[in-house]
């Protein structure tokens, strides 16, 4: 009978412990959805490292570094991949992006495809459902957005675990927040503005909300239907209160507002009042004097437009004999 020496027994024990550790690190967790701190630490640490590298590569839009992080299918889809990476890189120049939330999705054994629906129900009015259809046993989802910015875009990076490792299978970027508020928060703001009779602001906030409704293709806020409905109602109300063109009678030159647009800047989204002036565009001194009077009167013409915001933008036009605005214009900004 062959007996193992003490040293051989020690080596066998160490080898067994090592195999157990390797299996513990590589074997996926039980099927299900894991969020943030509930993600197994080994997987979470690894994905944090990969996502940090991804954020850096996206910011500089470095093709070689990005391709090292991507699946072969995503690499092969060159036009779409390059377009989305360029768009993300442009947005990342305006703010510092970081991981906001993360999910780890595990399919049952021997099943490499499935649909998971994440139901967030601890976020108050921001509750949402998020559905993912995976083609891998393990999927990791990183939601990336600025911590502090007036205009927030959400980058969604979906990783699958392939035979050749964790790789980004899909990237997407969509509006997430306007003036620092998500879609449900913007609707609540719109309702308050409407109570105060600030019809234009209420309609703008509601339209911002609709713009931010889908931070990801399958993201659906619990309040989505009511947001769509209120946006339509707010638009009808503002149109019933303000018939354009609207003459500013308090100003002697009687400029006429013919359009209100949205001016998006790093400081936020602001109204841009487009009006027709009888003063020629080359007479900038006279235009500025007229605009000072417009700025003093604008709150009487459109209630609330000069409240709770930093700026109002103005785009001034002359008009043709047929009453059509010339393309040329003069731009001014009023600080409130």
What is the percent of the chain with per-residue pLDDT over 90, rounded to a whole number?
84
Give the model's pLDDT for residue 24: 41
Peptide bond into 245 cis (omega under 30): yes
Q: Taken in order 318, 319, 321, 327, is the CA torsion positive or negative? A: positive
What predicted TM-score, i.e. pTM, was given to this entire model? Answer: 0.88
Token digits for 127? 């509750």
Which backbone phi and psi does 237 adopt, to 5 degrees?
Answer: -65, -45
Q: Tens digits of per-residue pLDDT, 278-329?
A: 999 999 999 999 999 999 999 999 999 999 999 999 999 998 877 777 889 9
Average pLDDT on 115-140 reads 92
Contacts 24+ apart (CB under 8 A), 129-136: 129/219, 129/220, 129/222, 130/103, 130/216, 130/218, 130/219, 130/220, 131/218, 132/105, 132/158, 132/218, 134/105, 134/107, 134/160, 135/160, 135/169, 136/107, 136/112, 136/160, 136/161, 136/162, 136/169
Query: Looking at the predicted structure, is the pLDDT value of residue 1 above 50?
Result: no
Give the residue, 276 or 19, on which the prediction is more confident.
276
Please tell me the distance from the alpha carbon of residue 208 to that of residue 262, in angstroms, as a whole number: 10
Ordered strands of the 219-221 beta sheet = 114-120, 128-134, 219-221
Above 60 in pLDDT, residue 4?
A: no
Which of 169-178, 263-272, 316-325 is predicted with the least confidence, judged by mean pLDDT? 316-325
CA angle 239, 240, 246 (to 5 degrees): 65
pLDDT tens figures, 13-24 = 454 444 444 444
Q: What is residue 167's predicted lDDT score, i.e. its pLDDT?
A: 98
pLDDT in tens, 22-48: 444 456 779 999 999 999 999 999 999
> Does residue 215 register a pLDDT over 80?
yes
Strand partners, 159: 140, 168
**Does residue 152 register a pLDDT over 90?**
yes
């Amino acid at each position: 009978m062959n007996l193992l020496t003490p040293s051989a027994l020690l080596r066998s024990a160490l080898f067994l412990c090592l195999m157990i550790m390797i299996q513990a690190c590589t074997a996926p967790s039980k099927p299900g959805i894991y969020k943030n701190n509930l993600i197994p630490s080994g997987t979470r640490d690894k994905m944090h490292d990969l996502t940090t590298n991804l954020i850096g590569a996206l910011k500089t839009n470095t093709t070689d570094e990005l391709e090292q992080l991507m699946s072969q299918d995503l690499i092969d889809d060159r036009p779409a991949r390059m377009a989305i990476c360029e768009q993300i890189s442009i947005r990342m120049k305006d703010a510092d992006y970081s991981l906001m939330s993360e999910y780890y999705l595990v399919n049952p054994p021997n099943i490499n495809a499935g649909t998971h629906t994440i139901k967030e129900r601890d976020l108050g009015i921001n509750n949402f459902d998020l559905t993912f259809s995976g083609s891998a046993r393990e999927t990791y989802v990183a939601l990336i957005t600025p911590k502090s910015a007036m205009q927030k875009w959400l980058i969604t990076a979906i990783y699958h675990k392939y035979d050749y490792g964790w790789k980004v299978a899909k990237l997407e970027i969509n509006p997430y927040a306007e003036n620092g508020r998500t879609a449900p928060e913007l609707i609540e703001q719109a309702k308050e503005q409407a109570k105060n009779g600030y019809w234009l602001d209420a309609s703008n906030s509601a339209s911002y909300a609709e713009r931010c409704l889908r931070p990801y293709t399958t993201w659906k806020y619990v309040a989505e239907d009511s947001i769509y409905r209120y946006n339509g109602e707010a638009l009808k109300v503002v149109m019933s209160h303000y018939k354009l063109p609207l003459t500013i009678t308090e100003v002697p030159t009687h400029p006429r507002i013919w359009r209100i647009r949205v001016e998006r800047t790093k400081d936020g989204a602001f109204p841009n009042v487009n009006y027709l002036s009888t003063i020629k565009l080359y007479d900038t001194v006279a235009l500025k004097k007229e605009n000072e009077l417009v700025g003093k009167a604008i709150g009487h013409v459109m209630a609330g437009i000069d409240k709770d915001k930093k700026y109002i933008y103005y785009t001034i036009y002359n008009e043709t004999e047929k009453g059509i605005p010339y393309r040329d214009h003069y731009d001014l900004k009023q600080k409130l």
